[in-house]
Amino acid sequence: MRILAIESSCDETSAAVVEQRDSKIIVHSNITATSIAIHAQTGGIIPENAAREQVKYIIPVIIEALKLSVHGSRLTANEILEKNIDAIAVTYGPGLIGSLLVGVETAKTLSFTLQKPIIPVHHLLAHIFANFINNNVSFPFIGLVVSGAHTDLLYFKSATNYQWLGGTKDDAAGECFDKCARLLGFDYPGGPKISKLAEKGTFKKELLPKIMKGNDLDFSFSGLKTAFMNVVKAEFEVSNTPNGQGYSWIHANIETLPQEKQQLLYNLCASLEQTIVEVLVRKTLHAAKSYGVQTILLGGGVSANKTLVRQFQLEVRGQRLEIDIFSPEKIYCTDNAAMIGAYALLNPKEKSWKSLHAQPDLYFS
């Protein structure tokens, strides 16, 4: 089965054509347009702006994905859709309502006009199933979703049978990275920027508190964000900077800071990253041991973090565990349509276009 997949839950507009061969998902095309530059100007995502950008990109992105999926063909995108595509998969939640509506209504219209089945996809589950792209993965496994707004642990017996084990009670891991980076004046997404500064620093246990010492499977990152903010307030002078800037001047002035303040900033970022990574690794391995599984799948933007993946591998080796760790290729970590198609191929539950609605607050049942 060949699927046209559509993702439009937030600030990325993406379309892909995917197919299953054995237990692997093959991606024929995956095109993503992002409106991130616009949101950088407003200091964060304004939902109406994101939705407007989705409207602008959705059709060109679908056309490009269809054309790219058939190499050297003279067929038009419409002909490819009619002849080569068996079903349409689309993200129906969670996400921003305006953004979701664009993808869902486009998919419904294509389904109605071309008489193709439609497969609704849960965005967060798809982040985990991104690992099936170009990989043979077997069940059961533990899935860790670490995206901008979500941190969740799940136990999967099969593609259709899963159990939610725990999640964040306040900020998500990605959100903690983003808010700490924003305090320093960095644009969204903050995770990669903190991670880059962290490369020049060293973990210092006295800088930030050890968090979530318990063995439960829930998360909480807002206290860590506050602790990070308190160190920045205590260590960096705000009085000699233009009014109203808070600490946002830091990012543009790192090179001019005194040597010891520069190093402190790098160490603080390394400590933040390491603290987040430590708790994600500890709790996920605890879940894997408790459920007796030998496979862990990471997914979502934060799974692109190299320290996270490295720390998982070090712990598995150090504790002599027989657990395989998968994290998607970088382009499939952040929002993309190929992962939506991957989930749909492994879980092809069709729905009539009439009964499909965008669900911004969709969570796990």
In whole angstroms, what is the distance from residue 139 CA to residue 309 CA?
20
- Write the DSSP symbol of residue 187: P
Nearer to ligand KG4, 167 or 301 (CB): 301
HEC per residue, 27-89: EEEEEEEECHHHHHHCCCCCHHHHHHHHHHHHHHHHHHHHHHHCCCCCCCHHHHHHHHCCEEE
Helix (H) or strand (E) holding 340, with range, is helix 338-346
Residue least distant from Zn ion (Cβ): 147
Q: How far is the CB of 30 from ligand KG4 (least distance, A)?
A: 14
Q: How far is the CB of 91 from ligand KG4 (least distance, A)?
A: 10
> Which of 141, 177, 221, 266 touches ligand KG4 by CB under 6 A?
177
In whole angstroms, what is the distance from residue 197 CA to residue 222 CA?
21
> Which of 85, 149, 207, 293 touches ligand KG4 by CB under 6 A?
149
The answer to whether the beta carbons of residues 250 and 185 sit under 8 Å apart is yes
Q: How far is the CB of 151 from ligand KG4 (least distance, A)?
A: 10
Residues 195 to 254 in contact with ligand KG4, rule: CB under 6 A: 195
> Which of 103, 167, 301, 341 touches ligand KG4 by CB under 6 A?
301
Q: Should residue 92 be labelled a site residue for ligand KG4 when binding is judged by CB under 6 A?
A: no
In whole angstroms, what is the distance from residue 306 CA to residue 155 CA?
24
Nearer to Zn ion, 14 or 274 (CB): 14
The answer to whether the beta carbons of residues 326 and 24 sit under 8 Å apart is no
Contact region with ligand KG4 (CB under 6 A), list: 44-52, 101-109, 190-198, 343-351: 190-198
> Which of 335, 337, 345, 362 touches Zn ion by CB under 5 A?
335
Question: Which chain residues interact with ligand KG4 by CB under 6 A?
Answer: 10, 147-149, 174, 177-178, 189-192, 195, 300-302, 304-305, 334-335
